[in-house]
Structure 1
Amino acid sequence: MGMSVTISSAVAEDAEQIFKLQYLAFQSEAALYGNYRIQPLTQSLDSLREELARDIVLVARLGDEVVGAVRGSVDEDGAGAIAKLCVHPRLQGHGLGARLLRAVEEALAERAQAARFRLHTGRKSESNLRMYRKAGYVAVGGRTASDGVELVILEKEAAKEAADYAVSA
């Protein structure tokens, strides 16, 4: 009866849909902080296109519509950096964010041999913090973003099974 959501690598043609989704999905975060200068809302389309060309970018699709997205890259210290995880507001609360998170972790472990993952979220973003903790992330620090938002930095080690699989595959 209904369509299922699929997760795949983004292509250059997805840039505008990701851009619009990101703007829509991060409105609730901006409202939570009373700050509409947060980076996901001020990022340019050209900057997003550069990320698409350089980083691991995954999208969740419902038919032809991009309803979720996440970026992954490798930090200067070799950690898999996960950023801008977003899900369309009408699909939030159904596990799609957790699916995208697992998918980008797998891609970073496989393609970039990341042994640990790092991400950040706003200190007041309880639903995000809950999802990340449930996925095994622990707070390792904090910082204030250039837009003034207090961030929590979280990390987790890559699953041993995934590392073993990547070595044996």
Structure 2
Amino acid sequence: MNDALRIGPVTLEHAGELLTLRRAAFVTEAQTYDDPFIPPLTQTLDELRADLEAEGVITLGAWDGPRLVGSVRVELEGSKATLGRLAVAPDRQGEGIGTQMMLTVAPMLPEETEEIWVFTGRDSKQNLAMYQNQGYEHQFDETVGDLTYAYLRRILGEDVEG
């Protein structure tokens, strides 16, 4: 893992950089599913800005110096947190940045959070393996349009092996 990374909240001033990062990171997903219209690739800058300001949503970024190299969106709903849009710059994938971001999320959550959910495309084998290595267990699949998402859950307080 990269100890030089700084992980913290993404603010409105970084909206353009975040949009660029997500679009670059999700091209591979779009190719996997032969669908250039997946939500991370069609979100507008205005929609992203509204999401950054939304109540109950935290977006974390991973910076290497001044460069945003990773991000994850966390939506809080009562005792549940849902992770989405985990993105790592294509030239930095495979360095453990995604894993480091996942490890940073749980300690930052409100005390009443009991479980963390995450979803990814059912055919995204690398993503599924990373989540399962972090203690997330597959719960169900859901088809939306032409995409089928796998939903995984981790109960906080349970030990993660690995």
Do the structures match in fold with TM over 0.5? Answer: yes
Q: How far apart, in 2, do the equivalents of 1:89 and 1:109 lie?
A: 31
Displacement of 1:83 = 0.7
Instruction: Return the structure number with greater helix share.
Output: 1
Q: Structure 2 regions of 5+ residues with no counterpart? A: none
Partner of 1:165: none
Partner of 1:68: 70
Partner of 1:88: 89
Q: Give the match's secondary structure for 2:154.
A: strand
1:101 paired with 2:99, answer no
Q: Which amino acid aligns with 2:62?
A: A
Partner of 1:123: 122
CA RMSD of aligned residues (A): 1.8
1:143 paired with 2:142, answer yes
1:156 paired with 2:157, answer no
Which TM-score applies when normalising by structure 1?
Answer: 0.86
Displacement of 1:45 = 1.0
Q: Structure 1 regions of 5+ residues with no counterpart? A: 162-169
Q: Which amino acid aligns with 1:71?
A: R
Q: How far apart, in 2, do the equivalents of 1:3 and 1:140 lie?
A: 33
Between Structure 1 and Structure 2, how many residues are aligned?
A: 156
Q: How far apart, in 1, do the equivalents of 2:93 and 2:46 lie?
A: 27
Runs of 4+ in 1 over 3 A off after TM superposition: none
Q: Which moved more, 1:78-87 or 1:25-34?
A: 78-87
Q: How far apart, in 1, do the equivalents of 2:3 and 2:76 lie?
A: 33
